[in-house]
Structure 1
Amino acid sequence: MIAGRRATVASFVRGRRPRYDELGRRVGRPGLRLAKTTIAATLAYVVADWIGTSTGPVLAPLTALLVVQVTMYQTVTQSVQRVASVLAGVLVAVAVAHFVGLTWWSLAGVVAVSLLLGGLLRLGPHLLELPISAMLVLAVGGAPAVAGSRIYETLIGAAAGALVNVVIAPPLYLQPAGEALGELADRMARFTDALATALRSTWSRADADRWLDDARALGREVALADRNLARAEESTRLNPRAARIRQEQPRLRTALTGLDRTYLAVRELCRALLDRTYFVPAEEQTTAYDDDVRTALAAFLDTVADAVRTVGSYASTTRPVPRDALGLEAHLEELRRRRDRLSTLLLVDPHTDPAAWEQHGALLTAVDRMRVEVEAAARPSERSWRPPVLAERQRETFRRLRRNRRRRSPRPPTSERPEPPPP
């Protein structure tokens, strides 16, 4: 009897384990950040109070709260920006207090200079911290003790936030990126399934227009998946646990690129279906494409949906599955066969109906592109990946500085230029 109860309990737990795992993932990520932020703020306060920077050093935990971010790279970036903003604000306030003091016009000058300086330093979300620090220090007459305590507490808070983010499980965000790709593939598959169903029923210009709008709405899902993957890529920077994402990133990025281009092909297909309705008389909208053509196109879209779901399973899994085991090749072969069937039905003499020949060509081009991009989405990547050393903004800054230096560098006169060597 006891053994039977144990078996019942074990079966109950196994049946609900996926739900428990999903609940743990959803609660775990926000819960981990909550714990890290709390520990960082507490640690910053304890250290600042032990050093004795001021009475009730709340600026240290406040800084820790602001700098602890979802990735290690963002935490370090936020720490540097906040320290720079506080330090610059204190220096501005000390200089003004030494020469002028607090007046309405000196306050206006401090705010203006601080904002300009913050823009030059590219302080991002901490831009306003610079004039705030300057005004607070200026309000007490630029006292060295107040200025020093503000700098020390900011340094302590930034260091505590960075330290906690290093010690306590720096997140990689690999799983959310895979889940976002899986959701994108599922959304695209459901769209193509629904479009195939609509093509098998009555068809009109209004239907084609509505499906084109729905296809454009898929762009939001593509952008969401791209943001999740970009966050996973950024989480590798300054992260000692980055090796796993470096291995998985080529597969995820290849899948996202293929799905993104498949989405563009779906839009082209819907646009071609709509354009055809504008080249026939209004009373012939429902027969812009014959029933057998729409049925063949619907069958092609059914296979596209199956193939996209397979790509989603390939991309969203945390354990890579060999492409041969996915059954994708069977879907691709079926796509080729159904594409050939559709091409046969769309044959038309360009001399007899040049508009139909052009529109059918656009439709087949979109169909071909869908087939090619679905295949490319699950293609193994031959390139390894490493996170960029510098941010794109920093690289662009360096490029701009080099270009400006080349423009300013004087060129020797034509007569003084060295002659080229003889051949």
Structure 2
Amino acid sequence: MSLYPTDENLLAPLTALLVVQVSVFETMRTGLRRVGSVVAGVLLAMAFSMAAGLTWWSLGVVVIISLLCGHVLRVGEFAPEVAISGMLVLGVADVSGTAANRIVETCIGAVTGVFFSLLTGSSTWMQPARQAVPALASEMRHLLGQVAAEWAHGAAPERKAAWGKRAHRIHRDIGWVDKELALAERTRRLHPGTRDGSPARLRLRSGLDSLRSCASAVQTLCNALAWPYGPDTFSTDFTARMREVLLYLGDALEAFGLLLSAPGEDDAVDADQRLRHLLARASEGRAALAGEHRARVTSDAATKQLHSTVLACIDSLIRDLRRPRVPPGAA
């Protein structure tokens, strides 16, 4: 049984296939662009049909204006659909009937796609962000381990430059994860019956902000250690203690990533306890570094600035990893 008179009702299922995305929010946005492109093309065709009818030049003008309208309306990949709808409607005898059928079919397909997205399970919405967070934290840990090993043995300038590039790439990837998480959050708000305040989601959101700040601190630290400085800038004891602190912070970052992505509360409790232990050891090492810094009196302003920057980056990492967040077991 058909809701409208047409022999081949292919536009509705095709629209449903085109608009379905991985989230309800993206499906609704894609559906609106699809419907908008079809309506724009149909209206243009009807206007030219009443003004000039079907001629070679009216068809060409409809195509050109339709493509321009598609870009003005920002319908994205559906910009050609404006011209296609215009040509199909303009080229038939029953313009009004064909126009109405095309709009109705498109709307039915878009609504079907949104309805299908609402029926799909919501457990996968957070998966991209939840899987990316521990990977990014592990990448930061490997970077700090690399810095600790190479800097302690006098890294070459090209190796120091590679630290900064790698840190910049991590910071950029965190921005991508933040977009994925924001998309999942919008989808949850559009889906009926979901709890928007689950501890796992709140922990992931608050922790991701901390992880972004950590990435900025790591990038600043890599740039600071890449500065050209003399052989007496850092003492042997300072260098050895610095290496220990960086390793502790790297392990703490990995534990922090596991805490943010923990699927269950038991896993989150274990990761939180390990994180607290590692931060305590890192804080002890930072206190020893401050003592080395105070004991090494120097009149060189550049050396003082370099020491202060390194200590400030370590302080920032410890502070961000200790930032208040939703604790395991919180409702």
Residues 1:139 and 2:86 aligned together: no
Distance change >3 Å, CA 324–CA 214, structure 1 → 2: closer
Q: Is the 8 A contact 1:195 1:211 kept in 2?
A: yes
Letter in structure 1 aligned against 2:326: P
Q: Is the 8 A contact 2:245 2:285 kept in 1?
A: yes
- Spell out the pairing of 1:211-222 with structure 2 (5 A cutoff): 211-222=163-174
What displacement does 1:302 show? 0.9
Residues 1:66 and 2:18 aligned together: yes
RMSD: 2.6
Tell me how many residue pairs correspond in the alignment. 325
Residues 1:110 and 2:62 aligned together: yes
Q: Which moved more, 1:126-135 or 1:308-317?
A: 126-135
Aligned residue for 2:155? 203
Secondary structure of 1:242's aligned partner: coil
Q: Is the 8 A contact 2:25 2:183 kept in 1?
A: no
Aligned residue for 1:189? 141
Residues 1:299 and 2:251 aligned together: no
Question: Structure 2: how far apart are the matches of 1:251 and 1:289?
Answer: 38
Aligned residue for 2:52? 100
What displacement does 1:125 show? 3.4
Deviations 1:278-329 (A, max 9, x none): x43xxx5xx6533322211110011101211211121111223348952322
What displacement does 1:268 show? 0.8
Deviations 1:335-372 (A, max 9, x none): 2110111122233445x212211221112111211111
Deviations 1:65-89 (A, max 9, x none): 1111111122222222222221221
Residues 1:337 and 2:289 aligned together: no
Aligned partner (choices 171, 175, 182) of residue 127 of structure 2: 175
Letter in structure 2 aligned against 1:313: L
Distance change >3 Å, CA 181–CA 136, structure 1 → 2: same
Distance change >3 Å, CA 155–CA 217, structure 1 → 2: closer
Aligned residue for 1:380? 326
Question: Structure 2: how far apart are the matches of 1:177 and 1:66?
Answer: 24
Q: Is the 8 A contact 1:81 1:126 kept in 2?
A: yes
What displacement does 1:248 show? 3.3
What displacement does 1:96 show? 0.5
Q: Is the 8 A contact 2:152 2:240 kept in 1?
A: yes
Letter in structure 1 aligned against 2:257: G
- Spell out the pairing of 1:17-32 with structure 2 (5 A cutoff): none
Distance change >3 Å, CA 205–CA 117, structure 1 → 2: closer
Secondary structure of 1:128's aligned partner: helix
Deviations 1:356-389 (A, max 9, x none): 112211121112111111222x6338xx9xxxxx
Secondary structure of 2:2's aligned partner: helix
Aligned residue for 1:158? 110
Secondary structure of 1:236's aligned partner: helix
Residues 1:318 and 2:270 aligned together: no
**Gaps spanning 5+ residues in structure 1: where?**
1-48, 385-423
Letter in structure 1 aligned against 2:321: V
Question: Structure 1: how far apart are the matches of 2:163 and 2:124?
Answer: 37
Q: If the length of structure 1 is used for normalisation, what is the TM-score?
A: 0.70
Q: Which moved more, 1:212-221 or 1:181-190?
A: 212-221
Aligned partner (choices 256, 259, 263) of residue 211 of structure 2: 259
Fraction of identical pairs, as percent: 31
Question: Structure 1: how far apart are the matches of 2:155 and 2:240?
Answer: 12
Distance change >3 Å, CA 142–CA 195, structure 1 → 2: farther
Question: Structure 2: how far apart are the matches of 1:147 and 1:140?
Answer: 10
Residues 1:369 and 2:321 aligned together: no
Aligned residue for 1:233? 185
Aligned partner (choices 262, 268, 293) of residue 220 of structure 2: 268
What displacement does 1:122 show? 4.1
Distance change >3 Å, CA 117–CA 214, structure 1 → 2: closer
Q: Is the 8 A contact 1:73 1:237 kept in 2?
A: no
**Gaps spanning 5+ residues in structure 2: where?**
none
Letter in structure 2 aligned against 1:264: S
Secondary structure of 1:127's aligned partner: helix
Q: Is the 8 A contact 2:259 2:272 kept in 1?
A: no
Distance change >3 Å, CA 113–CA 345, structure 1 → 2: same
What displacement does 1:172 show? 4.9
Higher RCO structure (Cα 8 Å, ≥6 apart): 2
What displacement does 1:52 show? 5.0
What displacement does 1:94 show? 1.3
Secondary structure of 1:304's aligned partner: helix
